[in-house]
Structure 1
Amino acid sequence: MKNKKLLGVAACIGLLTWTGCQSSKGYIIEGTVDNAADGDTVELIYFDGMQPQIVQTTLVKDGKFVLEGKQDTAAMRYLSYRPIKGEGTSVELVLENARLSVHLTPGTYQYDIKGSPANERWAAFHNEDEQLCGQSMDIYHALQDSTLTPDKRAELEQQDRDLSAKIEQLRIDFARKEIQTAAGAYTLQMFGDRFPDTTVVNLIGQVPPMYMTAELQGIKEQYEQMQRTAIGQPFTDFTMQTPNGEKLSITDIAKAHKVTMIDFWASWCGPCRAEMPHVKTAYEKFHNQGFEIIGVSLDNNAEAWKKAIDQLKLSWPQMSDLKGWDCEGARLYGVSAIPATVLIKDGKIVARDLRGDSLMTLLPTLLK
């Protein structure tokens, strides 16, 4: 279960903004809107976290609008059309000091932005991404048909996998090409949770300081911590309280057993609960051979945590700081999705995120 939210597709920065430098002339956004009424509103917006902040507002006249200003460093902004009546629309663009032309068509997700190489490349990327996502949605709807034959369902599922891989590769390629720009960094921020870890590590090290948002800084710190707690590294100790209020550390458990598994979970996590029968099977089979588990809960409600331990009949040690996703143990191990596991032997991390058959296969070897 991921503690993440998908906010939208990323944009691209143009050839003239590789260094983040802008001309002194400022920007002019000249727009047209299909079927707009005089007095309809157009807003230039950025997001502070999840909260929209209005930079500028203007009114539509004769189907046209103009916004002018100055942008010190290229950045992603939303242009939102809000009609008095009817359906609105928005586009995301690279706000830079240039003369831009934007055509808004309510009801469509395709972008029509001209005037700078940055925005034209961005619009091309967005439109291709949107087209592929539309095809993916068509497949999803087709799969809801209960009358599909097994062969047809298998065919559609394969098409969906192929299309998903194509979308991911499109985004990775775009991020690689533009990573030293505002939009390249934004691409990584938006889609990095779906990229391979090695790709994220490589790209995030190339993001210029001016584009290192708080979100990207958090991702960078998470991956740095993951590298410090990667397979082959000494385990990182931490101490929390048991359900009875006693202090317990990873060292307390690891030093007394051949193999210790840190199991990050939470009472509210459906996949964690679904995995518990497999974890219990491994514990019951290998505990007497020197295998121990220590559960680290990302709960923030003590009663819910304790109730889940009783309901699931978890007999191994449990600990939590009841800070939810701010759990110190999760932070130290770069955990951003649960369930997550870390296996320790002889003071070192020997495996991560093993479960089910993979865990059952490896444990006999580790316990020799």
Structure 2
Amino acid sequence: MNKTSLRPFLLKAIALVLIANNAVAQKKAPQFVITAKVAHMTDSVVYLNYGTMGSSKTDTVKAINGSFSFKGHVEEPVPGFIFTKTYKVKIELFVTNTPISIVGDVDSMYNTKVTGKGVTQEFEAFSQKLMDNRKRTIALYQKAYDLKQSGDSVAAKALQAKADSQYNWEFKARIAYPSEHPNSYVGAKELLAYTSTITLPAAIKVFDKLDPSIKNSNIGKEIAARIDLLSKVEEGKPAQEFTQTTPDGKSVTLSSYKGRYVLIEFWASWCGPCRAENPNLLKQYKLYNSKGFDILSVSLDKDKEPWLKAVEHDALPWTQVSDLKGWNNEVAVLYGIRAVPASFLVDPSGKIVATGLRGETLNQKLESLFGKTN
């Protein structure tokens, strides 16, 4: 066989080898397979959102008589959330490339069981501890309420204190988990949720002690990015400049408040705690506005009508701005906002002097700056 006739043969052989190798690679690619059976379920469509906060994917499947399944591939273990449009079905889990089984009941989703291996199993065990504590806490609160109703206020108060302590245990357990499990994806998830402007110094210390494998994971990189972002808006740093528009289309810049103290208040019409804080904000505004205090509210609403109705109903006289992008509001992203209400107090020079002020903490801060008023 001469070289001319050999060449096509070699090309075909190489092509066949590449195709075979690709097929083997595809065949060997690990997959997650989630199978679920949820009793008394009436929803026919189920969603699975999985990934990190910064990069996630949502799959959709149909459910038949409460049975459904998801299949796919993840590069590494990631948090997942299964839900339906009515939210009657809500299941948290960790998605790994292993078989995962779910058994639950719409009438008692607290008792849902998720069975899997590795990180899935670890997350389920931790979640079960939290859930068991919640059940005991709810029972104590109910017993304290019953005692109070029956007239035994002393016993009710003691039981209430015990319930409060158990309630706080969950928060402490979540904070402790990443420190106690530095090589855990579950711990990294808890650390990401914990990291905020208020907890930043503590979060950095925990992050520094994480195993390199977790630091280099996608969720680890997201924690690092969040720490970097929040480090730019912590107390003592110059407030990040921004421009947004009022309901009537007027552009407002943060720098236009130079020379005055201004509270950047992140809120939304649908946020109950935000609306509950508005009367206090209004009271403080009336007390200190003439002394150099102002408020600039940034709404995380998506629709203009409920936003404006809330402003009118709560009688808020200060400037309101929004780009109506919800959680993707450009100012909210710039300041790392993932929960509302949230606030940043900026001094006349444009420096952040306090964060997370609400209720009495806000009142005391303003009193320290401007003095008591009658």
Q: Determine if the TM-score, normalized by the shorter chain, exceeds 0.5.
A: yes
Check the 8 A contact 1:236/1:332 in 2, yes or no.
Answer: yes
**Alignment-derived partner of residue 131 in structure 1:** 132
**Alignment-derived partner of residue 249 in structure 1:** 253
Is it true that 1:328 corresponds to 2:334 in the alignment?
A: no
Residue 173 of structure 1: how far off its partner (Å):
3.1
**Compared with structure 1, are the counterparts of its residues 190 and 303 closer, same or farther at alpha carbon in structure 2 (3 Å cutoff)?**
closer
- 1:302 pairs, out of 300, 304, 322, with 304
**Alignment-derived partner of residue 339 in structure 2:** 337
What CA distance in whole angstroms lies between the structure 2 residues aligned with 1:177 and 1:307? 47
Is it true that 1:208 corresponds to 2:187 in the alignment?
A: no
**Alignment-derived partner of residue 174 in structure 2:** 171
Is it true that 1:157 corresponds to 2:131 in the alignment?
A: no
Residues 158-204 of structure 1 deviation map (CA, whole Å, 9 limit, x = unaligned): 112211333333333332232333333244456768x9544433344
What CA distance in whole angstroms lies between the structure 1 residues aligned with 2:158 and 2:329? 42
Q: Which has the larger radius of gyration?
A: 2
Task: Specify every segment of 5 or more residues in structure 1 that has no aligned partner in the other structure, as ranges.
Answer: 1-24, 28-44, 55-70, 81-89
Check the 8 A contact 1:77/1:95 in 2, yes or no.
Answer: no
**Compared with structure 1, are the counterparts of its residues 183 and 344 closer, same or farther at alpha carbon in structure 2 (3 Å cutoff)?**
closer
Check the 8 A contact 1:283/1:293 in 2, yes or no.
Answer: yes
**Alignment-derived partner of residue 142 in structure 1:** 143
Residue 304 of structure 1: how far off its partner (Å):
2.4
Check the 8 A contact 2:215/2:221 in 1, yes or no.
Answer: no
Percent of aligned pairs with the same residue? Answer: 26
What CA distance in whole angstroms lies between the structure 2 residues aligned with 1:46 and 1:249? 36
Aligned residues between the structures: 308
What pairs up with 1:72-91 in 2 under 5 angstroms?
75=77
Task: Specify every segment of 5 or more residues in structure 2 that has no aligned partner in the other structure, as ranges.
Answer: 1-27, 31-47, 62-72, 83-90
Residue 150 of structure 1: how far off its partner (Å):
2.4
Is it true that 1:233 corresponds to 2:237 in the alignment?
A: yes
- 1:291 pairs, out of 293, 312, 327, with 293
**Compared with structure 1, are the counterparts of its residues 144 and 329 closer, same or farther at alpha carbon in structure 2 (3 Å cutoff)?**
same
Residues 51-106 of structure 1 deviation map (CA, whole Å, 9 limit, x = unaligned): 4689xxxxxxxxxxxxxxxx99763699x9xxxxxxxxx99689589xx9x99999
Check the 8 A contact 1:77/1:94 in 2, yes or no.
Answer: yes
RMSD: 4.8
**Compared with structure 1, are the counterparts of its residues 190 and 134 closer, same or farther at alpha carbon in structure 2 (3 Å cutoff)?**
farther
**Alignment-derived partner of residue 280 in structure 2:** 278
Amino acid aligned to 1:230: E
What CA distance in whole angstroms lies between the structure 2 residues aligned with 1:93 and 1:237? 38
Moved more, 306-315 or 238-247: 306-315
SS in 2 for 1:336: coil
Q: Under a length normalisation based on structure 2, what TM-score does the superposition of the two structures give?
A: 0.63
**Alignment-derived partner of residue 21 in structure 1:** none
Amino acid aligned to 1:208: I
Is it true that 1:352 corresponds to 2:355 in the alignment?
A: yes
**Alignment-derived partner of residue 33 in structure 2:** none
What CA distance in whole angstroms lies between the structure 2 residues aligned with 1:285 and 1:77? 46
**Compared with structure 1, are the counterparts of its residues 93 and 261 closer, same or farther at alpha carbon in structure 2 (3 Å cutoff)?**
closer
What CA distance in whole angstroms lies between the structure 2 residues aligned with 1:119 and 1:311? 46
Residue 251 of structure 1: how far off its partner (Å):
0.6
Q: Under a length normalisation based on structure 1, what TM-score does the superposition of the two structures give?
A: 0.64
Moved more, 104-113 or 325-334: 104-113
Residue 242 of structure 1: how far off its partner (Å):
1.4
- 2:269 pairs, out of 267, 270, 280, with 267
What pairs up with 1:191-202 in 2 under 5 angstroms?
196-202=199-205
Higher relative contact order (CA 8 A, sep 6+): 1
SS in 1 for 2:352: strand
Is it true that 1:362 corresponds to 2:365 in the alignment?
A: yes
What CA distance in whole angstroms lies between the structure 2 residues aligned with 1:73 and 1:262? 39
